[in-house]
Amino acid sequence: MSPSKVRDGAERGWIVPIGGAEEKHNDPRILERFVDLCGGADADIVVIPTASQLADTGERYEKIFSELGAGRVSALDFDTRRDAQEENRWERIEQASGIFFTGGNQLRISTLLGGTPIAQLIRARNAQGVHVGGTSAGASILSEHMIAFGKEGGSPTAASVRLAPGLGLTNRFVIDQHFRQRDRLGRLLAALAYNPFAVGIGLDEDTAAFIRPDNTLEVEGSGAVTVVDAGELQFSSMDQASEEEPVCLLGLKVHVLVAGATFNLQTRRASSGSLGVSKRNH
């Protein structure tokens, strides 16, 4: 699965993965910025609560986005794959300026929407300039390679992660969420050992990566984003290790970014942004 092609002269929409447990009331800077990005008072946001099995998830985000000033918000759930064939759902997504996936279980999204016309449409709409965000499970689903589940801990093993196809808005990164709170460094490193092409992005709770059309990631929120760059990986023992043995990885680069700091997914250069002097990788 490849990301939809952006037409010449056009610009794709932003991609906004959030690490989960984002502040919704006292200081909702992440969700507020997403609303502003989608047009503020003119924002037309479709919430997809398919990952959640709680009946009120879609309604709750409708209320939150409306209170933050979005002009129109509606939840669009998918309980069966047949739902993804319905013309009225297609038309609603065609109207949106922003699409938002809630948290829950990312495998519910991939099994219910993967390979459907709705999944193809969301990729196409992002390529046409519509912004797509998601929190927790809704963040994991956004990339081509998705962490389906795995084990907690700091050391990677072959058995510490299971990957599945995601929505495929981009193939440049793989996301893990609730990162520091749930000790998920090991499984993100294992995912990169399987696929060193991608950049690993570990999102703390109440922290988001606002990824611009030029593939520059900017951090927003109260926590940190851990960026693991395997682009210059020198050695991996993944092919030799048994499932429970730790994997040896040499040549990784790790950046810990906080609000205002940036990382360019194309050049693989990090910057402290408003915090101080730019740092370049060579």
Q: Domain residue spans in the chain?
A: 15-275
- Predicted local confidence at residue 276, as pLDDT: 56
Measured between alpha carbons, how far is 105 from 112 in angstroms, rounded to an integer?
Answer: 11
178 carries an active-site annotation:
yes
- Predicted local confidence at residue 278, as pLDDT: 43
- Predicted local confidence at residue 4, as pLDDT: 86
| Candidates 32, 52, 131, 178; catalytic one | 178
Nearest to 202 by CA among 214, 212, 213, 217: 217
Measured between alpha carbons, how far is 24 from 34 in angstroms, rounded to an integer?
Answer: 12
All residue ranges of the chain with pLDDT < 50 are: 277-282
Q: Is the domain defined by 15-275 classed in CATH 3.40.50.880?
A: yes
136 carries an active-site annotation:
yes
| Candidates 144, 205, 218, 220; catalytic one | 205
- Predicted local confidence at residue 161, as pLDDT: 97
- Predicted local confidence at residue 277, as pLDDT: 47
Q: Where are the beta strands (DSSP E) in 49-187?
A: 72-75, 98-101, 131-135, 145-150, 161-165, 173-176
| Candidates 110, 136, 160, 236; catalytic one | 136
